[in-house]
Amino acid sequence: MAKAAKPPHLTYLSTLKLIADQSRRELDALMPHRGELGRITEEIIKGVLERTLPKRFSIGTGIIINSDGGVSAQTDIVIYDNFFNSPLLSEYGARVFPVECVYATIEVKSVLNLRTLKKGISDIMLLRRIGSKKKYIVNQRQVVIKTPPRSYIVAFRHSGLGKDYETFKSKLAKLLNSVDAHVHGVCILENDWFAKRKAYVRPAVLLGSKNNSLSQLYQSILTGQENFAVFPMDVRAYLGSEARRAE
């Protein structure tokens, strides 16, 4: 009797895990180049996302702005809509992204410690404020959508965040509670840890596990796109009152 084929969704999940395993092998092979780990990790993750995300998504690097003048920190990986919208500036590899086109961001660290984790979360909270007033044109009218981009932190290794996964989760939850911050995922590649905050729950409840960290990261990014409705941005909001008077 022929072996029954896997259901399509299981095949897809297995393929995603194979891609994640390949990413880990590439990183392990490049471990001697420790000074380049952040950049190498960033490029490998970018490559995987470019192969797995639908073509309406693009991958870039740069800063994110809103029409009220808000400006994010420099962002390592920006997953953005390149169908309805596009970056305002794209020169020499660095781009300026209107927040209306941004689905998710990833900060990549060689080593994550308490100081860099606090800085990463602070940058995420700034981005969430910038992303709380996205202005689109729907049926010829301006619509404001308050859902900010999803935000992730990926590190090759950590220092001082716990000897085991449960301690790591506890320290991360304590920090998130202290500043009432939300992060969609923190991934430590060397330990194979992934943790994410459960939405709308206070104090913070963290989900995830200590295995298949890259697979969990990719799954979270892929499923996270379901939460976003993206439309053409209201360009007039960026051009100011002179553009409106000229109509």
Going from N- to C-terminal start, the domains of the chain cover: 11-43+105-236
In this structure, the dihedral spanned by the alpha carbons of residues 199, 47, 117 and 173, taken in order and rounded to 10 degrees, is 30
Under a CB-based contact definition with an 8 Å cutoff, are residues 149 and 105 in contact? yes
Tokens of 65: 């702005």
Residue with tokens 């072996």: 3
Angle between helices 213-224 and 8-29 (to 10 degrees): 130
Q: What is the pLDDT of residue 234?
A: 94
Residues of the chain with pLDDT under 70: 1-17, 19-20, 23-24, 27-36, 90-94, 227, 241-247
Q: What is the pLDDT of residue 115?
A: 94
Q: What is the pLDDT of residue 1?
A: 47
Alpha-carbon span 220 to 101, nearest angstrom:
19
Q: What is the pLDDT of residue 228?
A: 75
DSSP 3-state of 72: coil
Under a CB-based contact definition with an 8 Å cutoff, are residues 168 and 195 in contact? yes
Q: Residue 17: which of 155, 192, 152 has the closest Cα? A: 192
Q: What is the pLDDT of residue 88?
A: 79
Under a CB-based contact definition with an 8 Å cutoff, are residues 67 and 240 in contact? no
Q: What is the pLDDT of residue 7?
A: 52
Under a CB-based contact definition with an 8 Å cutoff, are residues 147 and 224 in contact? no
Under a CB-based contact definition with an 8 Å cutoff, are residues 117 and 162 in contact? no
Q: What is the pLDDT of residue 106?
A: 95
Q: What is the pLDDT of residue 149?
A: 93
Phi, psi of 25 (to 5 degrees): -65, -40
